[in-house]
Amino acid sequence: MRKYTLPGLLLLFIMLPLQAQQGMARLQKQETATQLIVDNKPFLVLGGELGNSSASSIENIQRIFPKLQRMGLNTVLVPAYWDLLEPIEGTYDFTLIDKAIYQARENQLKVIFLWFGAWKNSMSCYAPLWFKENYKKYPRVHTQTGKPLEIASSFSENVYQADSRAFSQLMKRIAAIDKEEGTVVMVQIENEIGMLEDARDYSADANKRFNAPVPETLTDYLQKNKQTLHPQMLEKWKTQGYLTKGNWQEVFGADIYTDEIFMAWSYAQYVERMAQVARSIHNVPLYVNAAMNSRGRKPGQYPSAGPLAHLIDVWHCGAPGVDLLAPDLYDNGFTDWVAQYKLHNNPLFIPEIRLADNDGVRAFYVFGEHDAIGFCPFSIEDAPDDPQSPLIQSYAKLNELMPLLTRYQGKGVMNGLLFDEKNKERILHQDDLKITCRHYFTLPWDSRATNGSVWPEGGGILLKLNKNEYLIAGSGIVIEFEHRNEKKVILAQCLGEDGFTLNGENKDQQKAEKWSGLRTGIGSVDEVSINGDGSFRYIRRLNGDQDHQGRHVRISSGQFSILHVKLYEYN
């Protein structure tokens, strides 16, 4: 038996809480990337969010979670409903919370709880009936015309206290049954918080605060961070001459976007208080999610004042205890939306995206291009558990790749690729290479490219391992490598199904040109799988027709693969 001296015992007792804390999920920087650390190693959330009502019964949880394991998920996002947690004021029922955690463990899943508290998609629909009925104690917001809405007021201390008490009970329950296991890896505070119909609350209390001076905390923050403010925020403040004193309209101007800034400050401060409650009980990463300001809508037409990209400075100042702002994505323009949320001061996490076949390649893109923390299609239980479905194929390969992706995140050696029929090509320059990446259907031999079929998105990850050594993974992509000093004949050629030039007898197309400089060739292309330590396991060599006799590297549409590529130089 090991014996401890009194000082040794004291040191042991001091270290135990620290060791427990280190075992909990946390965020950690690796160069320019922020990583989620789970079980003391970097972790990519290959997740899915349940539909709003899917975790509201034990039977549903028991039925759904085994399916998610079969699909290859490692994380499930689960609503925690205030109305079911506290159906009678002061009486708490943790049956669903416990069941979700225990079922997750049985199915080797991690859990991210979504607090459906005072607000869910702006509305207070998940508040208990005893809260809704007592609107004098728990007031609602009002539109400019005086219309009360089913949206609890963020200016009400009674609203905050009721919401916070229930939320604190949730966090205490998680801590009580999960502190050692670490099944719960993140918590979302509220859901798509924001103001609808009008850009801000027009209740008497809100109007009083709107006409009061802008808090010095915010104006000091804007001054201190002037060089890195979001361009929209900087321009808004600039139009008023960068004033630091005055009411909200004097500092930011008289329009609905000022109304939105004012409301964002209120929501952010409310959420910060919730975050501090969570931190004091069970310190796991926290985030808030946003419904997008898309389709040309104005504040109030979308949930105004939520944690949107153009309001990131207000939210960072008002809610510094929140780790990240996360987009919920249901609109076109995927690459533009995600770029707005991968910022120097905000890591990218996608807790909710429309469930679609293209999600498989989009997951590859965000991990490769933006060092994403995670990717989670919505209503995941409705996805097929067919092993050939794109999302299941994608998650299987990403799970293999996780040791390598997490090793290289933030180091500037990865790119994400995403193509469709309109955006077919991307050219990258690395070392002495020009790397041309395209959609697979740009090749001449797949009939779906020209027969009117809708092109599925193609996407993947290009990871530079060393000079002239790459890992390429994904689906529906083709990549060519050229030396930057290479001079070549450029011909207007038309290729046949075999990839050779049509009308090859036309000598006008065969004019010679003197070559100079090095050329880059494909030395080998091996299909591989990735072991848990990041090493490769050889599957097969792809040559001849599979790399078009050394002309390119490709992965067919509908097929997900990991390829290890070695290049060489010659002249």
Place of tokens 């915010």: 218
Side chain identity, residue 371: D
Query: DSSP readout, 123-154?
Result: B-TTS-HHHHH-TTTS-EEE-TT--EEEEE-T
The ranges assigned to domains in the chain are: 415-570
What fold characterizes domain 415-570? Chondroitinase Ac; Chain A, domain 3 (2.60.220)
3-class secondary structure, 562: strand
What is the average pLDDT value for the chain, to the nearest integer?
92
- Report pLDDT digits (tens) over 219-269: 999 999 999 999 999 999 999 999 999 999 999 999 999 999 999 999 999
The whole-model pTM stands at: 0.91
Which tens digit of pLDDT belongs to each residue from 142-175? 999 999 999 999 999 999 999 999 999 999 999 9
Residue 508 vs residue 178, higher pLDDT = 178
- Percent of the chain at pLDDT > 70 equals 91
Half-sphere exposure of residue 257: CA atoms within 13 angstroms, side-chain side:
15
**In the structure encoding, which two tokens stand for residue 385, read together?**
């558990």
Tokens standing for 481? Answer: 């490598």
| b/e map 424-456, b = 16+ CB within 10 Å | eebeeebebbbbbbbbbbbbeebeebeeeeebb
Contact (Cβ atoms closer than 8 angstroms) between residue 560 and residue 360: yes
The predicted pLDDT at position 273 comes to 98
| Beta pairing partners, 42 | 37
State pLDDT tens for residues 441-456.
999 888 888 888 899 9
Secondary structure string (H, E, C) spanning 71-125: CCCCEEEEEEEHHHHCCECCECCCHHHHHHHHHHHHCCCEEEEEEECCCECCECC
Q: Using 50, 70 and 90 to split pLDDT, how confident is the model at 20? A: very low
* pLDDT of amino acid 447: 85
